Structure 1
Amino acid sequence: MSPTFPPEQIQLVAHLTAKPGREQALVDAITAIVPAVRREPGCIAYLAHSSREDPGTVVMYEVWADQTALDAHVKGANLASLAARFDDLLSVPLRVEPLRRIA
């Protein structure tokens, strides 16, 4: 029997691409907020990955209990502290890709 997943769960992938020379600063900024984000209400998964093909790209995989939890995260202090550094760190705007579980 396969597990069931609540339909209100939100899954997404976020792509962050560092400016040349700012790759480690981006990694450091993201890893600094991960523990606090994982303690946010409704956070089921908050995982950071470095691309093997493009080491300057960080891909976040996130799962939130529902839209309310994601909205609170987006408006919260943890993400705001990272977003305040985007102009310095990112070469292109953050790209967020909402997902729909199919299996």
Structure 2
Amino acid sequence: MIRKALFVRLEAKPGKEQAVADFLAAGLEMTNRETTTPIWFALRLSPATFGVFDAFASEEDRQAHLVGNMAQTLMARVDEMLACPPSVEQFDVLAMKNKLA
């Protein structure tokens, strides 16, 4: 059961919007290898603002993701791609519907 989640907001540097979009698209492969990250969305909120939504079964799974390959790769490229450090919000999931169209 999904109990924990994250929302990460990313602001691209001017001219780096496509680099951030490409990085997030490639991130699907990295997160698919994380067995404790069952739900992961990469989002474009505006031309220069991006987001990542992840959900997890436990706090331990969430913390594993925060120190995992995707997070480490992103943090290594912050200065190159982002206007400021990522904003990371952690929250509890109260209820969830997951039905594919």
Q: TM-score, normalised by structure 1?
A: 0.80
- How far apart are the structure 2 equivalents of 1:77 and 1:59? 17
**Who is 1:37 aligned against?**
31
**Who is 1:13 aligned against?**
7
Shift in CA distance, 70/100, structure 1 to aligned 2, threshold 3 Å:
closer
- The Cα offsets for residues 50-103 of structure 1, whole Å up to 9 and x where unpaired, read as 01xx21111111101211112222222232112100111110210011223344
| Correspondence 1:63 to 2:58 | no
- Flag the structure with larger Rg: 1
Q: TM-score, normalised by structure 2?
A: 0.82
RMSD: 1.6
What percentage of aligned pairs have identical amino acids? 31
- How far apart are the structure 1 equivalents of 2:50 and 2:62? 19
The CA deviation at 1:38 is 2.7
Instruction: Give the ranges of 4+ consecutive aligned residues of structure 1 lying more than 6 Å apart after TM superposition.
Output: none
Q: Structure 2: which 5+ residue stretches go unaligned? A: 96-101
- How far apart are the structure 1 equivalents of 2:93 and 2:67? 25
State the number of aligned residues.
Answer: 95
- How far apart are the structure 1 equivalents of 2:75 and 2:25? 13
Work out whether residues 36 and 65 of structure 2, in 8 Å CA contact, stay in contact via their aligned partners in 1: no
Q: Which amino acid aligns with 1:36?
A: M
Q: Structure 1: which 5+ residue stretches go unaligned? A: none
